[in-house]
């Protein structure tokens, strides 16, 4: 009987004796008499195309078991639709090398296969076999793909605990390939990444090599240190799990999506390397930046340990970039075309620059170390808005620029000790009733509490043209407010179009400029204010005296040039030598534009004069004034004045985790909506999207 069922016997002998060789019917059988027992391994071949679990698919009618070696032959197509386990699978190409029919093994959706070894074309002779995973779970100790063979991992997972050897083609879909050893390749082999995830899971050796492949998503896991063989090119995201370490090496790596690090990312300490990130960089583990340059187009979130070394961090996004987490940078440069927003204090040890837009510190500060400096001049279009702070020790007769933040001090032989300068921009301070400073102040302090009489300092204070409202510098006065003292003007001289010099100074405290008085009223106007309150504008003014005063016409302008009257307030007395107070509320101010208010004082003879205009920032129908708190825990508050709003909170993969419709009547008395986020359990970055009938606005939030 011609029986193609072959028996392969593997045994382990404790006593090498009693061996008999029996020959019968042309079949050679080896019988090993052992004291420890016998373990047999069977090879099963395919008889035809069919289902793995159907007996007629196999020679001899035996479905392969867990200890069997499986061989697929002659262009047979075998499909696995359930669970299977075997020792080894080998796919042999058709005997006719010119045939275009492939020997093929297909793992169906939901099926699972566990094998020690999977080999396509063991002879490696450039003929056709194919392994297709359509959504199953495949696990193997090793995976070998011979010449002319194709592995299509279209869905599901192929997990290999040791090496993947590819001499053919691997085509990836929305699937996962796990590699526990190394990926080696040769000949004309190819790798097409699709939208897949390749995960290196090695833990059995000190290092695991990351092959120079085109990756979509790349994940690193396992305790072996991951070492790239060349520059990494990742079109999707890079994830470093908590157990993993990526030694970036001497290469230039590019990740088009997000980088999330729960483990360790280490760059060379003395070699200038680079990492370019097209999305967010989020660090929950340890980032040892070494001498690398990280160029990031998304947000920076440091929730772990950042070791700055002598690295350079470049923020270069074209949308709002948010920085969170207390971080010390060596070099940090903002080159984005949209603004950056700071959520925590940061420290710069060496250099920083702002070149294309504004870097907003919010309620936080940028601290410049004793050797740190701005390396390029700030401009109206590109500067730090908020607080910059630094401390320096002055040398006699040597100008100290305090990191080029706009203040230079030169002292005499009297040593004032360590000087700290805090520069605040973007807000004004009140000089006197109704008189506000420009939007830049320098607060100068020393380690001692008091001014020093014998100290003689020369200070140069620089301002931006926009802060001066394009007016000549010599029209302003320099004011100083010391500790527990009134604001007082100090002698100063304009030494350039934007720099004011104050000499012979021994005073500390806050220095700033006050705008010039434009046109006085016929009556003695002490001050005039315009302030937003809820959805209205409240105007207030005070007169010291009035003579023949009929009243005040309230005028408003949307461009600062053309004004229109909106009301008239009669004088309380017409004539008065005592202070008079007036209040007017504009209940229906124009929206979406800056408003300019002024008073037109009219006397009984018909003569009139104008007050200095006061500007009020635009009322907008923006959906989010500010989503707080950020980071958030159990709820988010934000303001909005539109009708029904559709609120969606999504994670960084785009999956909605919270959706809710909010109505105007749900706002609190102070105009805020309260959104519960108690159901959001996973910490990380989220996107808050708010839609109305005609608007959509998004902001990124961090869940603690």
Higher pLDDT, 605 or 503: 503
**May I ask the CATH architecture of the domain 524-616?**
Sandwich (2.60)
Structure tokens at 410: 């030169």
What is residue 516's predicted lDDT score, i.e. its pLDDT? 52
pLDDT of residue 156: 96
- Residue 167 is predicted with a pLDDT of 93
Range in 114-123, 397-406, 480-489 the model is least confident about: 480-489
Mean pLDDT (whole number) for 654-662: 86
Highest mean pLDDT: which range of 20-29, 157-166, 519-528:
157-166
594 or 688: which carries more pLDDT confidence? 688
H or E element, residue 616: strand 614-616
Q: Can you list the pairs that 315-318 forms with residues at least 24 positions away whose Cβ atoms lie under 8 Å?
A: 315/340
pLDDT digits (tens, 9 = 90+) for 617-641: 766 654 444 576 878 888 887 766 5
In this structure, the strands spanning 477-481 and 488-490 are antiparallel
Give 318-360 pLDDT, tens digit per residue: 999 999 998 999 999 999 999 999 999 999 999 999 999 999 9
DSSP character for 483?
Answer: T
Six token digits for residue 234: 């990742």
Contact indicator for 647, 662 with CB cutoff of 8 Å? yes
Which one, of 78, 81, 89, lies nearest residue 114 by Cα? 89
CATH number of 635-703: 2.60.40.3080
In whole angstroms, give the CA distance from residue 2 to residue 17: 32
Beta carbons within 8 Å of 519's beta carbon, 6+ residues apart? 609, 610, 611, 612
Cα–Cα distances in angstroms (integers) from residue 501 to residues 132, 336, 676, in the given order: 77, 33, 54
- Dihedrals phi, psi of 238, to nearest 5 degrees: -115, 125
Q: What is the pLDDT of residue 233?
A: 97
Please state the rounded mean pLDDT for residues 507-535. 78
Average of per-residue pLDDT across 75-86: 96
pLDDT surpassing 90 at residue 209:
yes
With 80 as the cut, is the pLDDT of residue 57 above it? yes
Alpha-carbon distance of 323 to 306, in angstroms, equals 13
60: phi then psi, degrees, rounded to nearest 5: 85, -5
Supply the pLDDT for residue 288.
97
Cβ atoms 84, 112 nearer than 8 A: yes
Give the distance, in angstroms, between the CA of residue 8 and the centroid of all CA atoms in the same chain: 58
Question: Which stretches of 110-180 are assigned E, i.e. beta strand?
Answer: 112-120, 129-145, 150-160, 164-166, 169-179
For range 281-301, the mean pLDDT: 97
> For residue 606, what pLDDT band results from cuts at 50, 70 and 90?
confident
Across the range 35-60, mean pLDDT stands at 82
How many other β-carbons are positioned within 10 Å of the β-carbon of residue 681? 8
* pLDDT, tens digit (0-9, with 9 covering 90-100), for 429-468: 888 756 789 999 999 998 876 778 888 999 999 999 999 9
pLDDT score of 520 more than 50: no
Give first-to-last CA distance, the chain, whole Å: 73
Q: What rounded mean pLDDT belongs to the chain? A: 86
Query: 241-250, 378-387, 597-606, 665-674: lowest mean pLDDT where?
Result: 665-674
Rounded Cα distance, 489 and 481, in Å: 9
Which of the 8 DSSP states describes residue 188? T
Residues 252-281: what's their mean pLDDT? 96
Q: Is 37's pLDDT higher than 50?
A: no
Which residues is 261 bridged to in the sheet? 240, 283
Q: Give the whole-angstrom CA distance, residue 157 versus residue 571.
A: 83
Mean pLDDT check: name the lowest of 205-209, 229-233, 364-368, 628-632.
Answer: 628-632
The predicted pLDDT at position 242 comes to: 95
pLDDT tens digit string along 365-404?
999 999 999 999 999 999 999 999 999 999 999 999 999 9
Distance, in Å, from the CA atom of 302 to the CA atom of 304, rounded to the nearest integer, reads 6
Least confident of 5-19, 157-171, 367-381, 448-462: 5-19
244: tokens are 């993993």
**Residue % of the chain over a pLDDT of 90:** 61
How many CB atoms are closer than 10 A to CB 156? 21
Q: Of 162, 132, 171, whose CA–CA distance to 144 is shortest?
A: 162
Percent of the chain with pLDDT over 70: 88
From residue 631, give the alpha-carbon distance in Å to each of 303, 346, 535, 611, 649.
11, 16, 28, 45, 14
| Beta carbons within 8 Å of 135's beta carbon, 6+ residues apart | 107, 108, 109, 110, 111, 154, 155, 156
3-class secondary-structure state, position 665: helix
State pTM to two decimals: 0.69
pLDDT of residue 90: 95
Task: Decide if pLDDT at 300 tops 70.
Answer: yes
Report CA 54 to chain centroid distance, whole Å. Answer: 53
The answer to whether 336 touches 317, Cβ cutoff 8 Å, is: yes
Q: For residue 620, give the nearest of 531, 695, 538, 530 by alpha carbon.
A: 695
Six-digit token pair at 434?
A: 């109704």
Q: Mean per-residue pLDDT for 93-102? A: 71
Q: Hey, how many other C-beta atoms are within 10 angstroms of the C-beta on 22?
A: 9
Secondary structure (3-state) at 473: helix
Any bridge partners for residue 7, and if so which?
Answer: 42
Contact by Cβ (8 Å): 115, 160: no
Structure confidence by residue, pLDDT tens digits, 562-585: 899 999 999 988 888 889 999 999
Q: Residue 89 CA to chain centroid, in angstroms? A: 45
Residue 482, judged by CB atoms within 10 A of its CB (0-12, 13-18, 19+), counts as middle
């Amino acid at each position: 009987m011609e029986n193609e069922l072959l028996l392969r016997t593997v045994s382990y002998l404790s006593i090498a004796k009693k061996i008999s060789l029996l020959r019968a019917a042309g079949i050679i059988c080896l019988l090993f008499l052992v004291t420890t027992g016998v373990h047999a391994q069977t090879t099963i071949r395919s008889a035809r195309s069919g289902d793995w679990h159907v007996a007629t698919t196999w020679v001899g009618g035996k479905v392969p078991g867990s200890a069997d070696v499986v061989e697929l032959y002659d262009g047979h197509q075998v499909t696995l639709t359930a669970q299977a386990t075997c020792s080894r699978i080998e796919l042999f190409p058709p005997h006719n090398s010119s045939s275009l029919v492939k020997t093929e093994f297909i793992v169906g959706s939901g099926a699972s296969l566990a094998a020690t070894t999977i080999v396509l074309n063991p002879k490696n002779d450039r003929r056709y076999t194919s392994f297709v995973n359509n959504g199953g779970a495949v696990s193997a100790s090793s995976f070998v793909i011979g010449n002319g063979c194709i592995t299509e991992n279209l869905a599901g997972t192929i997990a290999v605990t040791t090496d993947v050897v590819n001499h053919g083609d691997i085509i990836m879909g929305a699937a996962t390939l796990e590699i526990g050893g190394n990926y080696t390749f040769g000949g004309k082999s190819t790798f097409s990444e699709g939208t897949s995830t390749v995960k290196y899971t090695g833990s059995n050796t000190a290092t695991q090599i990351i092959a120079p492949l085109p990756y979509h998503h790349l994940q690193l896991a396992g305790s072996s240190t991951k070492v790239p063989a060349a520059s990494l090119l990742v079109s999707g995201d890079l994830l470093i799990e908590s157990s993993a370490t990526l030694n970036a090496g001497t290469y230039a790596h590019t990740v088009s999506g997000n980088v999330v690090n729960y483990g360790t990312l280490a760059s060379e300490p003395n070699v200038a390397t680079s990492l370019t990130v097209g999305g967010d960089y989020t660090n929950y583990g340890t980032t040892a930046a070494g001498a690398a340059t990280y160029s990031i187009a998304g947000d920076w979130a440091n929730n772990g340990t950042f070791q700055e070394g002598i690295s350079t961090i470049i923020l270069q996004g074209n949308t709002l970039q948010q920085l969170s987490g207390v971080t010390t940078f060596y070099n940090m440069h903002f080159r984005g075309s949209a603004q950056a927003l700071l959520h925590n204090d940061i420290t710069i040890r060496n250099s920083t620059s702002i070149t294309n837009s504004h870097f907003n510190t919010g309620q936080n500060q940028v601290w410049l170390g004793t050797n740190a400096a701005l390396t390029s001049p700030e401009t109206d279009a590109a500067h730090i808005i908020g607080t910059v702070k630094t401390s320096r020790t002055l040398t006699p007769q040597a100008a100290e620029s305090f990191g080029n933040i706009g203040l230079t001090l030169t002292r005499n032989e009297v040593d004032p000790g360590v000087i700290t300068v805090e520069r605040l921009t973007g807000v004004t301070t009140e000089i006197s009733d109704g008189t506000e400073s420009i939007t830049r102040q320098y607060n100068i302090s020393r380690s001692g509490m008091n001014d020093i009489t014998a100290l003689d300092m020369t200070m140069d204070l620089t301002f931006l043209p926009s802060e001066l409202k394009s007016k000549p510098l010599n029209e302003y006065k320099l004011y100083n407010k010391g500790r527990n003292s009134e604001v007082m003007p100090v002698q100063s001289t304009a030494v350039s179009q934007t720099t004011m010099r104050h000499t012979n100074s021994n005073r500390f405290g806050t220095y700033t400029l006050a705008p010039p008085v434009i046109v006085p009223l016929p009556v003695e106007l002490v001050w005039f204010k315009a302030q937003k309150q809820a959805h209205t504008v409240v105007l207030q003014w005070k007169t010291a005296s009035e003579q023949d005063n009929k009243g005040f016409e309230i005028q408003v302008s949307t461009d600062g040039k053309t004004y229109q009257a909106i009301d008239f307030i009669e004088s309380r007395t017409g004539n008065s030598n005592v202070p008079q107070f007036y209040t007017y509320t504009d209940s229906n101010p124009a929206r979406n534009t800056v408003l300019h208010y002024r008073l037109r004082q009219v006397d009984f003879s018909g003569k009139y004069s104008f007050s200095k205009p006061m500007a009020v920032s635009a009322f907008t129908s923006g959906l989010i004034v500010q989503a707080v708190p950020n980071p958030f825990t159990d709820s988010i508050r934000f303001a909005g004045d539109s009708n029904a709003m559709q609120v969606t909170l999504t994670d960084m993969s785009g999956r909605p985790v919270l959706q809710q419709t909010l109505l105007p009547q749900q706002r609190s008395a102070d105009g805020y909506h309260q959104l519960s986020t108690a159901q959001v359990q996973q910490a990380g970055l989220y996107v808050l999207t708010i839609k109305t009938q005609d608007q959509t606005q998004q902001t990124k939030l961090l869940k603690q």
